[in-house]
């Protein structure tokens, strides 16, 4: 092979290696707010199913789902905004609306009956939508999805989550906690 061809081959190989390496470095670790979201009080969103109890009012107590618009349709008072609110904030909002001509001093308690799902994609046994369980880690979620595929990068995963109203993606170790609504992506290892 001629010297010119050899230099061209080396230059192409270095360019390809450079592009591959830049693809690896373009993805940044998760920002601080991303991790802080896991220790904040739970905030409701579409898909959460809530068990609402109004003390001594069995007709008002029941299970309600946060709809796609982020509201809970509650008897007597209608649509109550739930998206982005904590459970105590929603308890207070429903109690306040019930005080407006329906009950004198309503005692409202709310529990999450079923959390919104997590989504697991990429190099796992069975990608899909799975139930969230409080305390779940990335590793637990991957186990629920059938474990890692033979080509999976097993040390970390990418999580996409809503933080302060914005969609943020970051790479985290598999020991990191997951929150309801997260999308987990397991990457293919390079070698």
Phi-psi region of 147 (alpha: psi -120 to 50; beta: other; left: phi over 0): left
Give the domain ranges of the chain: 49-114, 116-191
**Which pLDDT score, from 0 to 100, does residue 95 have?**
96
Q: What's the CA gap between 38 and 181, in Å, rounded?
A: 12
**Which pLDDT score, from 0 to 100, does residue 15 have?**
44
Is the model's pLDDT at 12 over the cut of 50? no
Question: Which tokens go with 109?
Answer: 């308690």
Question: Which tokens go with 117?
Answer: 């799902």
Look at 176 and 31; give whichever has higher pLDDT.
176
Is the model's pLDDT at 13 over the cut of 60? no
Please give the CATH number for the structural domain made up of 116-191. 3.10.560.10
**Which pLDDT score, from 0 to 100, does residue 2 have?**
57
Topology of the domain comprising 49-114: wza like fold (3.30.1950)
State pLDDT tens for residues 101-158: 889 999 999 999 999 999 999 999 999 999 999 999 999 999 999 999 999 999 999 9
Mean pLDDT to the nearest integer, 86-97? 96
113 CA to centre of own chain: 17
Report the mean per-residue pLDDT for the chain.
86
Cross-strand partners of 159: 170, 184
Instruction: Give the least confident one: 20-24, 64-68, 83-87, 109-113.
Output: 20-24
């Amino acid at each position: 092979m001629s010297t010119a061809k050899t230099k061209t081959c080396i230059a192409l190989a270095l360019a390809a290696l450079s592009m591959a390496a830049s693809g690896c470095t373009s993805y940044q670790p998760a920002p601080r707010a991303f991790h802080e979201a896991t220790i904040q009080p739970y905030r409701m969103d579409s898909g959460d199913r809530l068990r609402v109890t109004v003390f001594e009012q069995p007709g008002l107590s029941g299970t309600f789902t946060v709809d796609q618009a982020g509201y809970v349709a509650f008897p007597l008072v209608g649509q109550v905004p739930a998206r982005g609110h904590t459970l105590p904030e929603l308890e207070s909002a429903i109690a306040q609306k019930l005080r407006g001509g329906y009950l004198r001093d309503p005692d409202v308690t709310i529990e999450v009956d079923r959390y919104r799902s997590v989504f697991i994609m990429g190099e796992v046994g069975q990608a899909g939508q799975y139930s969230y369980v409080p305390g779940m880690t990335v590793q637990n979620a991957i186990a629920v999805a059938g474990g890692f595929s033979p080509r999976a990068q097993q040390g970390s995963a990418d999580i996409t989550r809503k933080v302060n109203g914005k969609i943020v993606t970051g790479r985290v170790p598999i020991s990191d906690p997951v929150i309801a609504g997260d999308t987990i992506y397991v990457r293919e290892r390079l070698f």
